[in-house]
Amino acid sequence: MIRRLATDLLLAGPAALAVVLFIFLPVAVVFVLAFTDYLVGAPTADWVGLENFEELFGSRLGRNALINTLIYSAVVIPSSVILGLLVALGLHGITKRMPRVSAVLRTVYFLPVAATLVAMAVAWQMLMHPSLGLLNHWIAALGLTPQQWLTDRGLVLYSLAAIGIWQGVGYNMVLFLAGLSAIQPTLYDAATIDGAEHGWSRFWCVTWPMLGPTTLFVVIVTAANAFRVFETVATMTDGGPAFASDTIVYALYREGFVYFKAGYASAITVVFFAALLLLTALQIALVERKVHYR
Amino acid sequence: MTPALRLEGVTKRFGDVVAVDDVTLDLFEGEFLALLGASGCGKSTTLRLFAGLEAATEGHVLLGGRDVSRDSASSRNVALMFQSYALYPHMSVYQNIAMPLRMRGLSVPQRFPGARMVSRPTRTALHEIDDKVRRVATMLRLDTLLSRRPGQLSGGQQQRVALARALVREPSAFFLDEPLSNLDTQLKADTRDEIRALHARTGYPFLLVTHDQADALSMADRVAVMIAGRIAQIGVPEEVFQRPQSRAVAEFIGLHRMNILDRGHASRLHQAGATLDLGVRPDDLIIGAEGPIAATVESLLYKGEETVVLLRDPDGFALRSILRGGQPRPAPGDQVRLSADISALHPFDRHGNRAELPS
């Protein structure tokens, strides 16, 4: 009994200690700091109550970052989920007839996930360059007006969103492919016998409902990634022009690591943390009920 | 008489593999046909060819005399109960049963959730569907479970839902793919009776696909034995069991594998054994003090109603015999004599086909 206990402690103890020291403790510190005006390196800090939160939600700049993040997510989440699903359906469909082609395409779609986004951002910067970029060359060749992809205040957020989608599709595709291959083939047989013989009705009768759990997971993961958008902003636009692509995590980085306003940055972290927690809680609540069909 | 369904010279190849090899098989109106074979013999593919889930590489599928080889599964209007039941897990029992009626009775816009509010024909159609669903649900004692999801039901209940979904429309034929293999012994016996009764009541042509000969022999009017993609023998259960037309069928049919003594060796049982292989079912191999074959008892398998005795003759041939209930049992190591009645011998020629014993 004692030996069992000692073994259990030995196995689980170190990891648990590390989690407490390096995750729970810092989170607790951040929660406390969020209510102070602490500056990195300052000897003291004053309790300011909800002032930091007021600044985030009340100031033009804070609200701008929040709204930009929401717009970005509103574009990226549905697009990359739907595109990921379409690509997965297509690849799953051709796997039997053309296994080679399907394998190659899978790799191609997955490359953006495996590649370092910072390095890819440089490549995108070149593609989107106003005068040298390929993108504007093609647009000009088609007879359309070249765009200032990363310096137009109305466009920059959508340019970043496009890169976000490009990056998310591959990952979502892999998840959807796994979901598709887990569907019992006899369900399709049953649907055929019952009269759902064509693509669309089979999709609604079998594929879509059977993908429910996968879809929910994909949406949650995509949402978490979209809310966290940072690399492309930091490497390509620095939140500009004129804060047009300032997002919540980039603002957090700027306030905390450029201006050293640890208190304010902590407040942003708390809000961000709460949002992700809410999302996860929603997932658990939904997963338990709706999509597992128990 | 025109068969309800007929496979005519049907071959199905998957790449180089021949799953079904030139099969001609009739399913008559009102009959209960069992397709019996070991796993991998092509029986499930045959069922899928009948149902329209697979297209034949060669040959034709006839429905009431009409060639339906190129027609879709739902236009053949067959009902199929799957081994895994294949219920839609996201739908209630009611929705599962109603599914085939909705798919063929309603148009796409009529299937939308609010359609019943706006259109009178939709209301009428839904009303009819509701009637049929409730009738078949009552027949299969599912009326109290209609709002449950399949995941909340026991295996036996799920199977009744699968039956109900298959029966809810008037099918041209009813196919059952290994319907009993997921059930425990007691439930199996009940379900056997239930399916028999269902056949008697509905009168649809039933096709049962199974690897379990007890199911096939006990439920079907006719049994087709399938071996390596071909129909090896077809006939009433008694005929298939008592007069297997080939050595392969003889070895396949029977709860206990038939003893087959190779020619030459078999002459101890009958003089024809000099040129023919002779088969004896373990049930017919009698252990006693007298008999033409000497053997040593190797081991005994006690199975409740019966005991299987494993024996070996002096030449090293393994033989099996069955003892019923209260018969005295020998002990391992005992020397015994074996005999068999001439009427219980199954002679086969060198090609494995049934031969006649010279009288």
Closest Cα in chain B to A293: B90
CB contact under 8 A, A212 and B90: yes
Q: How far apart are CA B87 and CA B60, in angstroms?
A: 30
Secondary structure class of A150 (helix, strand, coil): coil
B299 touches chain A (CB under 8 A): no
- pLDDT score of A5 more than 70: yes
pLDDT tens digit sequence for B132-141: 899 888 888 8
pLDDT over threshold 70, residue A82: yes
Residues of A in contact with B99 (CB under 8 A): 194, 205
| Smallest CA–CA distance from A184 into chain B, residue | B86
Q: Are residues B51 and B84 in the same domain?
A: yes
Q: Is B70 on the interface with A (CB under 8 A)?
A: no
Written as six digits, the tokens of B81 are 């109960």
Query: Does A185 sit behind a cis peptide bond, omega within 30 degrees of 0 on the bond before it?
Result: no
For A114, half-sphere exposure in the C-beta direction (CA atoms, 13 angstrom radius) is 7
> Which among A286, A253, A276, A290 has a CA at the least distance from the CA of A40?
A253
Across the interface, of A195, A196, A293, the residue whose CB is closest to B89 is: A293
Q: Which residue in B58, B78, B79, B85 sits closest to B69, CA to CA?
A: B58
Burial of A28 (0-12, 13-18, 19+ CB in 10 A): exposed
- Proportion of chain A above pLDDT 70, given as a percent: 97
Q: The sheet that has B345-348: what strands, in order across it?
A: B259-261, B277-280, B345-348
- Identify which of B98, B107, B89, B84 has the alpha carbon closest to the alpha carbon of residue B166: B98
∠ at Cα B202 (B67, B35), nearest 5°? Answer: 55
Nearest chain B CA: its distance from A74 CA (Å): 28
| Mean of pLDDT values over A161-165 | 92
Backbone conformation region of residue B86, classed left if phi is above 0, alpha if psi is from -120 to 50, else beta? left
Residue B357 lies in a domain: no
What CATH number should be reported for the domain holding residue B38?
3.40.50.300
Query: Does B267 share its domain with B318?
Result: yes
Q: Do A190 and B79 touch (CB under 8 A)?
A: no
Q: What residues of A are in contact with residue B100 (Cβ under 8 Å)?
A: 193-195
Query: For residue B118, what pLDDT band results from cuts at 50, 70 and 90?
Result: confident
Q: Which residue, B216, B242, B268, sits at the end of a domain? A: B242
Determine the pLDDT at residue A86. 94
Contacts of B149 in chain A (CB under 8 A): 293-294
How much is the average pLDDT of A70-97?
92
Tell me if A209 and B90 make a contact (CB, 8 A cut-off): yes
More confident residue, A164 or A50: A164
Report the pLDDT averaged over residues B30-46. Answer: 90
- The predicted model gives A168-190 an average pLDDT of 91
Task: Check residue B15 and give its pLDDT.
Answer: 86
Q: How far is the C-alpha of B73 from the C-alpha of A202, rounded, in Å?
A: 14
Query: What is the structure's pLDDT at A46?
Result: 80
Residue A236 has pLDDT above 90, yes or no: no
CB B183 within 8 Å of CB B191: yes
Q: Is residue B52 part of a domain?
A: yes
What's the confidence (pLDDT) of residue A141?
A: 87
Written as six digits, the tokens of B160 are 């009744």
Residue B298 clears pLDDT 60, i.e. is over it: yes
Question: Residue B173: enclosing H or E segment and its boundaries?
Answer: strand B173-177
Average pLDDT, rounded, for chain A: 87
Which of B51, B88, B149 is facing A193, going by the closest CB pair?
B51
Check if B84 contacts A (Cβ < 8 Å). Answer: yes
B137 shares a domain with B41: yes
List the beta bridge partners of residue B34.
Answer: B208, B223
Query: Which pLDDT belongs to residue A55?
Result: 81
In the numeric block, the tokens 């598709």 are attached to: A180
Burial class (CB in 10 A: 0-12, 13-18, 19+), A283: middle
Residues of A in contact with B168 (CB under 8 A): none
Q: Is residue B359 part of a domain?
A: no
User: For residue A288, how many other CB atoms are within 10 A of its CB?
Assistant: 10
Q: What is the structure's pLDDT at A289? A: 66
> Same structural domain for residues B233 and B268?
no
The residue among B286, B267, B292 whose CA lies nearest residue B277 is: B267
Among B242, B268, B287, give the residue marking a domain's end: B242
**Cα distance between residue B200 and residue B194, in whole Å:** 10
* A182 contacts on B by Cβ (under 8 Å): none
Residue of B44, B48, B49, B53 to mutate for A, most A C-beta atoms under 10 A: B53
Q: Give the residue-averaged pLDDT of B176-198.
A: 85
Output phi, psi for B348, to 5 deg.
-130, 140
User: Do A193 and B99 lie within an 8 Å CB cutoff?
Assistant: no
In chain B, the number of structural domains is 2
What does the pLDDT read at residue A158? Answer: 92
Would you state the pLDDT for residue A117? 80
Question: Which positions in chain B touch A288 (Cβ < 8 Å)?
Answer: none
Cα atoms in the 13 Å half-sphere on the side-chain side of B209: 24
Nearest CA in chain A to B150: A294
* Separation in Å, CA A131 to CA A135, A139, A148, A151: 9, 12, 9, 12
Give the structural domain span for B121. 5-242
The CATH number assigned to the domain holding B342 equals 2.40.50.140
B259 pairs with which residues across the strands?
B280
User: Does A34 have pLDDT greater than 70?
Assistant: yes
Q: Is the pLDDT of residue A148 over 70?
A: yes
Q: How is residue A290 written in tokens?
A: 């709706």
Same domain, yes or no: B229 and B313: no
Query: Nearest 5°: phi and psi at B63?
Result: -115, 110
Is the residue at B21 inside a domain?
Answer: yes
Amino acid residing at A193: I
Tokens for B59?
Answer: 């040959």
Whether residue B338 contacts residue B291, with contact meaning beta carbons closer than 8 Å, is answered with yes
Residue to substitute from A184, A186, A188, A194, interface B, most B β-carbons within 10 A: A194
Q: Does the beta-carbon distance from B86 to A186 stay under 8 Å? A: yes
User: pLDDT value at position B209?
Assistant: 93
CB contact under 8 A, B82 and A186: yes
Q: In terms of DSSP bridges, do strands B318-324 and B286-288 run parallel, antiparallel, or are they unpaired? A: unpaired
Whether the complex's predicted ipTM surpasses the cut of 0.90: no
Tens digit of pLDDT for each residue in B57-82?
998 999 888 888 888 888 888 888 88
pLDDT at B84: 86
Separation of alpha carbons B298 and B314, rounded Å? 12
Q: Could you tell me which residue, B208 or A51, shows the higher pLDDT?
A: B208
Whether the pLDDT of residue A83 is over 60: the answer is yes
Decide: helix, strand or coil at residue B287.
strand
Quickly name the fold that domain A62-291 has. Answer: MetI-like fold (1.10.3720)
> Could you give the strand order of the β-sheet that contains B286-288, starting from the edge strand earlier in sequence?
B286-288, B335-339, B293-302, B306-312, B318-324
Average pLDDT of span B144-172: 88
A195 interaction partners in chain B (CB closer than 8 Å): 74, 100, 103-104
DSSP summary character for residue A221: H
Model pLDDT, residue A293: 64
pLDDT digits (tens, 9 = 90+) for A246-269: 888 898 898 888 888 888 888 888
Minimum distance, in Å, between the CA of residue A257 and any CA atom of chain B: 49
Question: Tell me: the pLDDT tens digits for B213-252?
Answer: 888 898 999 999 999 889 999 999 999 999 999 999 998 9
Task: Determine the average pLDDT of the residues in B41-55.
Answer: 89
Residue B144 tokens, joined: 């109290």
The span from the CA of A111 to the CA of A114, in Å, is: 5
Is residue A165 very low, low, confident or very high in pLDDT (cuts 50, 70, 90)? very high
Q: What is the CA radius of gyration of chain B?
A: 25
Alpha helices in B213-343 (DSSP H): 213-219, 237-242, 247-252
Looking at the fold, whether B213 and B343 belong to one and the same domain comes out as no
More confident residue, A229 or A40: A229
Q: Between the ranges A140-149, B44-53, B121-130, where is the mean pLDDT highest?
A: B44-53
B149 touches chain A (CB under 8 A): yes
Mutant choice from B103, B108, B112 vs A, greatest count of A C-beta within 10 A: B103
Residues B220 and B307 in one domain: no
pLDDT beyond 90 at B104: no
Per-residue pLDDT averaged across A58-79, rounded? 90
Tens-place pLDDT, residues B306-347: 889 999 988 888 899 998 877 788 888 888 888 888 888 899
**Which residues are CB-neighbours of A86 under 8 A, at least 6 positions away?**
none
CB contact under 8 A, A184 and B152: no
CA distance B136 to B138: 5
- Round the average pLDDT of chain B to a whole number and report it: 87
List of chain B residues whose C-beta atoms are within 8 Å of the C-beta of residue A212? 90
Binned at pLDDT 50, 70 and 90, residue A291 comes out as: low
Token pair recorded at residue B97: 């049963």
pLDDT reported for residue B239: 92
> Which ranges of A59-129 would DSSP assign to H, the alpha helix?
60-95, 99-114, 117-127
Closest CB to B100 among A194, A201, A206 = A194
User: Do B154 and B271 have their domain in common?
Assistant: no
Listed residue (A226, A70, A86) closest to A162, CA to CA: A226
Whether B200 and B297 map to the same domain: the answer is no
CB B339 within 8 A of CB B322: no
pLDDT for the residue numbered B31: 93
Residues B42 and B67 in one domain: yes
Of B349, B334, B358, B339, the closest CA to residue B259 belongs to: B339
**What span, in angstroms and rounded, lies between the C-alpha atoms of B62 and B52?**
11
CA distance A104 to A256: 43
Q: Do A193 and B90 touch (CB under 8 A)?
A: no
Whole-angstrom distance, CA of residue B57 vs CA of residue A93: 22
Domain boundaries, chain A: 62-291
A209 touches chain B (CB under 8 A): yes
Using CB atoms, which residue from A189, A196, A212 is nearest to B103?
Answer: A196
- Residue B112 reports pLDDT greater than 90: no
Whether residues B53 and A189 touch (CB distance < 8 A) is answered with yes
**Contact check, Cβ <8 Å, B73/A197:** yes
Contact call for B74 and A193, based on CB within 8 A: yes
Q: With pLDDT > 90 as the criterion, what percentage of chain B qualifies?
A: 20
Contacts with A294 from chain B: Cβ below 8 Å: 149, 151-152
Q: Of B242, B271, B296, which closes a domain?
A: B242
pLDDT level of residue B305 (50, 70, 90 thresholds): confident
Half-sphere exposure of A66 (CA within 13 A, CB side): 15
